[in-house]
Amino acid sequence: MIELLASRYAYALMFVLMGVGMYMMIANQNLVKKLIGVNLFQTAIFLFFVAVAYVEGGSAPIVPTEGAPGAMASPLPHVIVLTAIVVGIALTAVGLALIVRIHSEYGTLREDTLREVRADE
Amino acid sequence: MSNADLILPLLVAVPILMATAPIALGLRFDRTGWSVTALTTTGLLAATAYLASAVYSEGMVTHELGGWPREFGIQLVADEFSTLIALLVIATATAVLAYMRVGGPRGNTFYAGYLLLTGGLLGLSLTGDVFNMFVFLEIVGLATYALIASGDGPESAVSALKYLILGTVGASLYLIGVGFIFMATGTLNMQVLSEIMPEVLAQGGQNLVLMQAAFAFIFVGFALKVAQWPLHTWQPDAYQHAPDGVTPVIAALVSTAYAYALGRLMYTVFGPEFLTSTPYLTEIVVTVGCLSVLAGSTLAVIQTDVKRMFAYSSVAQFGLVVAAFGLVTETALIGAIIHLIGHAVMKAGLFAAAGVIAVSYGARTVNEYAGLADNRPFVAGGTALLLIALIGIPPSAGFIGKWYIAVGSVQAEMWPVAVVILLSTMLTLAYSARLLEKMYFTPATPVESPHPSAPVATDGGHEGEDGDDAHGSEHSDESAGDVGASAFTDAGRIGRGNPEAVSLGMLTLVIVAAIVAVLLGFAGGELYDLLDPFATEVFNE
How does DSSP classify residue B462? Answer: S
pLDDT, chain A, mean: 85
| Percentage of chain B lying above the pLDDT 70 cut | 89
pLDDT tens per residue across span B47-98:
888 888 888 888 788 888 877 787 777 888 888 888 889 999 999 988 888 8
Backbone angles phi, psi at B524, to 5 degrees: -50, -50
pLDDT tens per residue across span B409-462:
888 888 888 888 888 888 898 888 888 888 888 877 655 545 544 444 444 444
For residue B155, which residues of chain A lie inside 8 Å, CB to CB?
118
Cβ distance A98 to B164 less than 8 Å, yes or no, reads yes
Q: How many domains does chain A have?
A: 1
Gap from B158 CA to chain A (nearest CA, Å):
7
**Calpha distance A43→A36 (Å, rounded):** 10
B504 at interface of A, judged by CB pairs closer than 8 A = no
- As for the ipTM of the complex, it is 0.91
For A84, which residue in chain B has the nearest alpha carbon? B135
| Predicted TM-score (pTM) of this structure | 0.87
Greater pLDDT, B472 or B351: B351
Q: B225 pLDDT exceeds 50?
A: yes
Distances (CA, A) of A10 to B94, B212, B270, B305, B380: 48, 21, 27, 49, 60
Gap from A35 CA to chain B (nearest CA, Å):
7
CB-based contact B269:B203 (threshold 8 Å): no
For residue B172, which residues of chain A lie inside 8 Å, CB to CB?
41-42, 45
A30 forms beta bridges with: A110
Q: Give the per-residue pLDDT at A23.
A: 92
- Angle at which helices B7-18 and B108-126 pack, to 10 degrees? 160
CB-based contact B208:A78 (threshold 8 Å): no
Task: Count the alpha carbons within 13 Å of B225 in the hemisphere toward its beta carbon.
Answer: 32
Boundaries of domain holding A102: 2-62+70-120
- Between B165, B183, B188, which is nearest A34 by CB? B165
Gap from B67 CA to chain A (nearest CA, Å):
17
| B162-198 per-residue burial string, b: 16 or more CB within 10 A, e: under 16 | bbbbbbbbbbbbbbbbbbbbbbbbebbbbbbbbebbe
Mean pLDDT of B498-523: 80
pLDDT tens per residue across span B149-184:
887 778 888 889 989 999 999 999 999 999 899 888
Q: What is the CATH number of the domain that holds A25?
A: 1.10.287.3510
Q: Give the per-residue pLDDT at B495.
A: 57
Cα angle: B77, vertex B78, B81; to 5 degrees: 115
Gap from B91 CA to chain A (nearest CA, Å):
28
